[in-house]
Structure 1
Amino acid sequence: MELYMRLLLPIVLSLLTSTASAAASFDRKAWQQDYSQLKSELVDRYANLAWKASDVGGIDLPALDRNTAAAVASANDDTQAADAIRAFIAGFHDGHLSELPYLAVATTPPIEPSRPALDPAAPIEGCAALGYASTGSVAFSLPLEGLPGFKLILDGLGSTFRAGTITRSGVTLGILRIQNFRARAFPAACLHAWADLRQAGRAITPDSMREAAELRWFHDMAAEIRALRHTGATALVVDIGNDSGGDDSGDWTPRLFTDRPVRSARLLMADASDAGRYFADEIRDINEALTATQSPDAKAALTDARSFFSQQTAAIGEHRCDLSWVWREQRAWSPTNCNRLLSAGYAGGYSAGLARNALGDSKAATALSSASTVQSFVGSWTGPTYVLADQRSYSSAEMFAAVMQDNRIAKLVGNRTGGDGCGFMTKSDPIILRHSRLRFRVPNCMRLRAKGTNEEAGIVPDISVLPTEGESERARAERALLAITNDLAGASRKPH
Structure 2
Amino acid sequence: MSETQGGGATSPKESRKRGRKVFRRIGIGLLSIVLGLLGWDVVTFDRGAWQRDFEVLEVAMAKEYANLDWMVEHRGVDLTKLDRDTRASLGGAFTRVQAFLALRRFVRTFQDPHFKLTRGAGRPSAPPLQSAAAPETPPTPVASCTAAGYEARPVDFRFPFKKMPGFTAVHEAPFSAGVAGELGVIQIAHFGEDRYLATCEAVFAAGMDEDALRLAVRAKLQEALQRAIGALRDRGAKRLVVDLTGNGGGTEWVSEAVPLFTGSTLRRSEARIVSPSCDRTPIWKGEKVCSIFGEPPGMATLEGKGAWKGPLFVLADRGTGSASEDFVAWFKDNHVATILGVRTAGAGCGYVNGGGRVELREIGFEVRMPNCARFLADGTNEVEGIAPDVALPLDKSDEEKITALTAAIAATRD
Alpha-carbon distance, 1:451 to partner: 2.3
* Deviations 1:307-329 (CA, angstroms, capped at 9, x unpaired): xxxxxxxxxx5x22546345649
**Inter-CA distance 188–29: structure 2 relative to 1 (3 Å threshold):** closer
Equivalent in 242, 259, 263 of residue 263 of structure 2: 259
- In structure 2, the gaps of 5 or more residues are 1-21, 125-139
Q: Is 1:396 the counterpart of 2:323 in the alignment?
A: yes
Secondary structure, counterpart of 1:353 in structure 2: strand
Q: Distance in 1 between matches of 2:323 and 2:302?
A: 21
Q: Is 1:223 the counterpart of 2:227 in the alignment?
A: yes
* Deviations 1:89-133 (CA, angstroms, capped at 9, x unpaired): 122111111123334698xxxxxxxx8876xxxxxxx54454433
Q: Is the 8 A contact 2:375 2:382 kept in 1?
A: yes
Residue equivalent to 2:65: 46
Identify the range of structure 1 (36-45 vs 26-35) with the bigger mean alpha-carbon deviation: 26-35
Residue equivalent to 1:341: 293
1:11-50 superposed matches below 5 A: 19-50=38-69
Alpha-carbon distance, 1:71 to partner: 2.6
Alpha-carbon distance, 1:148 to partner: 2.9
Q: Distance in 1 between matches of 2:113 and 2:331?
A: 22
Alpha-carbon distance, 1:398 to partner: 0.5
Q: Is 1:69 the counterpart of 2:87 in the alignment?
A: yes
How many pairs does the alignment contain? 379
TM-score normalised by structure 1 residue count: 0.67
Q: Is the 8 A contact 2:120 2:359 kept in 1?
A: no
**Inter-CA distance 165–62: structure 2 relative to 1 (3 Å threshold):** farther
**Inter-CA distance 72–344: structure 2 relative to 1 (3 Å threshold):** same
Residue equivalent to 1:152: 169
Q: Is the 8 A contact 2:321 2:348 kept in 1?
A: yes
* Deviations 1:164-187 (CA, angstroms, capped at 9, x unpaired): 1113xxxx2111111111222223
**Inter-CA distance 92–476: structure 2 relative to 1 (3 Å threshold):** farther
Residue equivalent to 2:190: 180
Q: Is the 8 A contact 2:141 2:207 kept in 1?
A: no
Q: Is the 8 A contact 1:465 1:479 kept in 2?
A: no
Alpha-carbon distance, 1:74 to partner: 2.9
Residue equivalent to 1:161: 175
**Inter-CA distance 34–396: structure 2 relative to 1 (3 Å threshold):** same
Q: Is the 8 A contact 1:414 1:480 kept in 2?
A: no
Q: Is the 8 A contact 1:267 1:343 kept in 2?
A: no
Alpha-carbon distance, 1:25 to partner: 2.4
Identify the range of structure 1 (430-439 vs 229-238) with the bigger mean alpha-carbon deviation: 430-439
**Inter-CA distance 327–234: structure 2 relative to 1 (3 Å threshold):** farther
Q: Distance in 2 between matches of 1:483 and 1:58?
A: 38
Alpha-carbon distance, 1:385 to partner: 0.5
* Structure having the higher Rg: 2
Q: Distance in 2 between matches of 1:13 and 1:457?
A: 47
Identify the range of structure 1 (84-93 vs 70-79) with the bigger mean alpha-carbon deviation: 70-79
Q: Is 1:463 the counterpart of 2:387 in the alignment?
A: no
More helix by percentage: 1
Residue equivalent to 1:475: 399
Q: Distance in 2 between matches of 1:14 and 1:478?
A: 55
- In structure 1, the gaps of 5 or more residues are 107-114, 119-125, 272-316, 332-336, 356-374
Residue equivalent to 1:415: 342
Q: Distance in 1 between matches of 2:219 and 2:33?
A: 63
TM-score normalised by structure 2 residue count: 0.80
Equivalent in 68, 75, 78 of residue 57 of structure 1: 75
Equivalent in 320, 337, 352 of residue 278 of structure 2: 320
Q: Distance in 1 between matches of 2:271 and 2:116?
A: 22
User: Residue type of the partner of 1:477?
Assistant: K
Q: Is 1:143 the counterpart of 2:160 in the alignment?
A: yes
Residue equivalent to 1:294: none
